[in-house]
C-alpha cells in the first residue's frame, strides 16, 4: 500500500502507542498491511478523559464555528479522496471505483450536510397561556461511536459528523478488520483545526477497547452499527449508567417482485444485491417472486449472476471483490452448506471461487429452501441470495415480514396502487419502490424489530446526540434594568 497510515491511537490531539498490537491484513491477498495499536481499558480511560476535558470548550463553540470546522474536514477529505479510496479498498476489499466515485464523496458530504443542518436547526417558539416556549438542542457530552468493517469511513462519519455538529466530543472505535481510514480521518480533522480531544480514535478489539468504552460512566451517548449479539452486550453496559443508545443492526431484507413488474428492472435490482460481495446490511437478499414469472426471472438472474466478474477490487472491470476475513468467509460458506443439507438447490455459484482462491466467494443464488430454513431467516452477510415464490399479495407480505428483522425492503411492481398497499404493510425502516439504495441525509434511517433502535438523519440525528431542552418564560416578572 503506497499511502502511509499512522496506526497508533489518536487521543487528546496526540498519537499514543500501546504495549500490544494486532495484525491488519488485506482481504485482497492476505498481505499484512500493518500492526495496529491494540487498545484496552487504559486507552479507553484516557480517551474518555480527553473527550471530557475538551467538551466544555467545544460545547461553547458557536454553531457557525463548529460548522466552519466541519466544512474544513470535508475539504480535507476531498483533497485526500484518492488516498482514502485506495486505503479503504486495500483494507476492506470493496471496489476501488465505488470508493472513489461514491463512498468517499459521500464521506465529505456527511460533514457538509450536518454543518448546514446545524446552522438551520431550530423550532418555532410557541405560546402557552401567554408564556413562551423555546426549544433548544444542548450538547450531551462525550460520545462513543463504534463502527463496522463493511463501509468503515462512510458509516463512521455518518455518526462523527452529527455528533461533532451537535457540540459533543467523540471517541471513535473502528472495527479491527478495517481500522486504517479512521486513523487518516484523525489526521484530516487535526489539519482542519479541530481542537485536541474533540475527536479521539481508539483501536482494538470489541471485548477489550469497546467494552471499556461503553461501560465508562462519563460517556453520555453510544452509537453502534453491527450485530444483534454485540448490541445486547452494549445495551447492558449502557443501562448501568442510563446512557442513551442508537443501534443500527442486522437485516434480512426482502425484495418483492410482482407479476406486473418490469422484469428487466427487477433483475437489475436483484443483481445489485451482490454489491460489496453481499456485505451490505440493507441488501434485499430474500428474493420473493410471483410464481407466474418466477421461472423467467430465475433464468435471467442466473445468467446475469454468472456473468459478474469477480477479482481484484482495484481492477476497474471487477464487479465483485473478496469477503473481508477468513472467519467471515467460513461463516458465509457454512450458511450455504447447511442450506444445501436442508434441501436447498444451487441456481448459481454455491461456494468459494477456487480459481481465485483466498477470500473470494462466488455470487450465489439458492432456491427450494424449506419454510423457516436458517438461510431464509438469519443474516448471511455475503454474496448469497435466496429465492422464494408466492401466489398472492397477502402471501408476499407475510413472507416479507416473516423474520425478526425489519431494516429495509424493496418492492418491484408496475402498479402504484399495489405499491401503496404493500409498503404500508411492510415492517421496515426504509422501503424502496422500483429502486434501491437511494439515500438522502434528510430522511430518517434505522430499523424495526431487531434491526435497531432509533433513527439517524437530519434533525433525528440531533435529537439523539443532544439533550433537548424546553425553556418556558412568563410574560411578566421582569425588573427594569434601564
Q: What is the CATH number of the domain that holds 186?
A: 3.40.605.10
> 386 and 464 share a domain?
no
Do 293 and 263 touch, CB atoms closer than 8 A?
Answer: yes
> 182 and 245 share a domain?
yes
What torsion do the CA atoms of 9, 14, 20, 23 make, to the nearest 10 degrees? 40
> 366 and 234 share a domain?
no
Do 407 and 428 touch, CB atoms closer than 8 A?
Answer: yes
Strand locations in 147-298 (E): 170-173, 199-201, 221-225, 245-248, 254-257, 286-290
Q: Is residue 476 part of a domain?
A: no
> 243 and 351 share a domain?
no
> 237 and 284 share a domain?
no
Q: Is residue 355 part of a domain?
A: yes
Q: Give phi and psi for 356, each to the nearest 5.
A: -95, -30
> 220 and 311 share a domain?
no
Per-residue pLDDT of the chain (482 residues; tens, 9 = 90+): 678 999 999 999 999 999 999 999 999 999 999 999 999 999 999 999 999 999 999 999 999 999 999 999 999 999 999 999 999 999 999 999 999 999 999 999 999 999 999 999 999 999 999 999 999 999 999 999 999 999 999 999 999 999 999 999 999 999 999 999 999 999 999 999 999 999 999 999 999 999 999 999 999 999 999 999 999 999 999 999 999 999 999 999 999 999 999 999 999 999 999 999 999 999 999 999 999 999 999 999 999 999 999 999 999 999 999 999 999 999 999 999 999 999 999 999 999 999 999 999 999 999 999 999 999 999 999 999 999 999 999 999 999 999 999 999 999 999 999 999 999 999 999 999 999 999 999 999 999 999 999 999 999 999 999 999 999 999 988 887 76
Q: Is residue 179 part of a domain?
A: yes
Residues 223, 337: Cα–Cα separation, whole Å: 34
The C-alpha cell at 54 is 475538551
> 215 and 74 share a domain?
yes
**Cα of 367 vs its chain's centroid, Å:** 29
Q: What is the pLDDT of residue 291?
A: 98
> 63 and 177 share a domain?
yes
The C-alpha cell at 304 is 446475469
Length of the chain: 482
What torsion do the CA atoms of 56, 61, 67, 71 make, to the nearest 10 degrees? -80
Question: What range defines the domain where residue 64 resides?
Answer: 9-249+451-471
Show the CA angle centred on residue 86, arms to residues 84 and 88, nearest 5°. 65
> 427 and 461 share a domain?
no
> 136 and 30 share a domain?
yes
Closest CA to 37 of 180, 222, 187: 180
Do 34 and 26 touch, CB atoms closer than 8 A?
Answer: no
Q: Which helix (H) or strand (E) holds 462?
A: helix 458-465
Q: What is the pLDDT of residue 480?
A: 79
Q: Is residue 201 part of a domain?
A: yes
> 211 and 269 share a domain?
no
Q: Is residue 441 part of a domain?
A: no
- Per-position b or e across 418-431, b if 16+ CB within 10 A of its CB: bbeebbeebbbbbb
C-alpha distances (whole Å) from 128 to each of 131, 134, 136, 391 are 5, 11, 17, 55
Residues 329, 364: Cα–Cα separation, whole Å: 13
Residues 36, 34: Cα–Cα separation, whole Å: 6
Closest CA to 69 of 167, 194, 221: 194
Residue 392: CB atoms within 10 Å = 10
CA atoms within 13 A on the CB side of 293: 21
Q: What is the CATH number of the domain that holds 360?
A: 3.40.309.10
> 270 and 206 share a domain?
no
Residue 382: CB atoms within 10 Å = 23
What torsion do the CA atoms of 451, 330, 305, 431 make, to the nearest 10 degrees? 0
What pTM value is reported for the model?
Answer: 0.96
Beta bridge partners of 22: 36
Q: Is residue 76 part of a domain?
A: yes
Q: Is residue 129 part of a domain?
A: yes
Q: Give phi and psi for 223, each to the nearest 5.
A: -125, 130
Do 452 and 407 touch, CB atoms closer than 8 A?
Answer: yes
* Residue 280 DSSP label: -
Number of domains forming the structure of the chain: 2
Q: Is residue 267 part of a domain?
A: yes
Closest CA to 34 of 225, 209, 182, 160: 182
Q: What is the pLDDT of residue 1?
A: 65
**Catalytic site positions:** 248, 281
The C-alpha cell at 465 is 446526540
Do 115 and 201 touch, CB atoms closer than 8 A?
Answer: no
Amino acid at each position: 500500500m503506497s499511502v502511509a497510515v499512522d496506526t497508533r491511537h489518536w487521543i487528546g490531539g496526540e498519537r499514543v502507542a500501546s504495549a500490544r498490537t494486532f495484525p491488519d491484513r488485506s482481504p485482497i491477498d492476505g498481505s499484512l498491511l500493518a500492526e495496529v495499536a491494540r487498545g484496552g481499558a487504559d486507552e479507553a480511560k484516557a480517551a474518555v478523559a480527553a473527550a471530557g476535558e475538551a467538551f466544555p470548550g467545544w460545547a461553547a463553540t458557536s454553531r457557525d464555528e463548529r460548522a466552519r470546522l466541519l466544512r474544513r474536514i470535508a475539504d480535507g477529505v476531498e483533497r485526500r479522496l484518492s488516498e482514502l479510496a485506495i486505503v479503504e479498498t486495500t483494507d476492506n476489499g470493496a471496489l476501488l471505483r465505488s470508493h472513489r466515485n461514491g463512498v468517499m464523496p459521500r464521506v465529505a458530504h456527511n460533514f457538509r450536510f450536518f454543518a448546514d443542518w446545524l446552522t438551520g436547526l431550530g423550532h418555532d417558539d410557541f405560546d402557552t397561556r401567554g408564556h413562551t416556549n423555546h426549544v433548544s438542542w444542548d450538547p450531551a457530552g462525550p460520545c462513543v461511536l463504534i463502527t463496522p468493517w463493511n463501509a468503515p469511513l462512510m458509516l463512521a462519519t455518518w455518526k462523527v459528523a452529527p455528533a461533532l455538529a451537535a457540540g459533543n466530543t467523540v471517541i471513535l472505535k473502528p472495527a479491527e478488520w478495517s481500522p486504517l481510514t479512521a486513523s487518516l480521518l484523525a489526521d484530516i480533522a487535526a489539519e482542519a483545526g479541530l481542537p485536541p480531544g474533540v475527536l479521539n480514535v481508539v483501536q482494538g478489539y470489541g471485548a477489550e477497547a469497546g467494552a471499556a468504552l461503553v461501560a465508562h460512566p462519563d460517556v453520555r451517548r453510544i452509537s453502534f452499527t453491527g450485530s444483534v449479539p454485540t448490541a445486547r452486550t452494549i445495551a447492558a453496559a449502557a443501562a448501568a449508567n442510563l446512557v442513551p443508545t442508537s443501534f443500527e443492526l442486522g437485516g434480512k431484507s426482502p425484495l418483492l417482485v410482482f407479476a406486473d413488474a418490469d422484469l428487466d428492472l427487477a433483475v437489475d435490482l436483484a443483481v445489485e444485491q451482490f454489491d460489496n460481495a453481499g456485505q451490505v446490511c440493507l441488501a434485499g437478499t430474500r428474493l420473493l417472486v410471483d410464481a407466474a414469472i418466477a421461472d423467467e426471472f430465475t433464468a435471467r438472474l442466473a445468467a446475469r449472476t454468472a456473468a459478474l466478474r469477480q477479482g481484484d477490487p482495484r481492477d476497474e472491470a471487477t464487479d465483485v471483490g473478496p469477503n473481508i476475513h477468513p472467519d467471515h468467509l467460513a461463516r458465509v460458506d457454512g450458511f450455504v452448506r447447511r442450506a444445501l443439507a436442508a434441501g436447498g438447490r444451487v441456481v448459481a455459484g454455491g461456494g468459494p471461487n477456487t480459481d481465485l482462491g483466498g477470500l473470494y466467494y462466488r455470487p450465489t443464488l439458492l432456491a427450494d429452501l424449506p419454510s423457516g430454513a436458517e438461510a431464509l431467516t438469519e443474516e448471511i452477510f455475503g454474496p448469497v441470495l435466496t429465492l422464494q415464490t408466492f401466489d398472492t399479495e397477502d402471501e408476499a407480505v407475510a413472507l416479507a415480514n416473516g423474520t425478526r428483522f425489519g431494516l429495509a425492503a424493496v418492492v418491484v411492481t408496475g402498479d402504484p396502487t399495489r405499491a401503496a398497499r404493500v409498503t404500508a404493510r411492510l415492517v421496515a425502516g426504509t422501503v424502496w419502490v422500483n429502486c434501491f439504495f437511494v439515500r438522502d441525509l434528510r430522511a430518517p434511517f434505522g430499523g424495526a424489530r431487531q434491526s435497531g433502535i432509533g433513527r439517524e438523519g437530519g434533525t433525528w440525528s440531533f435529537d439523539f446526540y443532544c439533550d433537548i431542552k424546553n425553556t418556558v418564560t412568563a410574560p411578566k416578572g421582569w425588573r427594569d434594568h434601564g
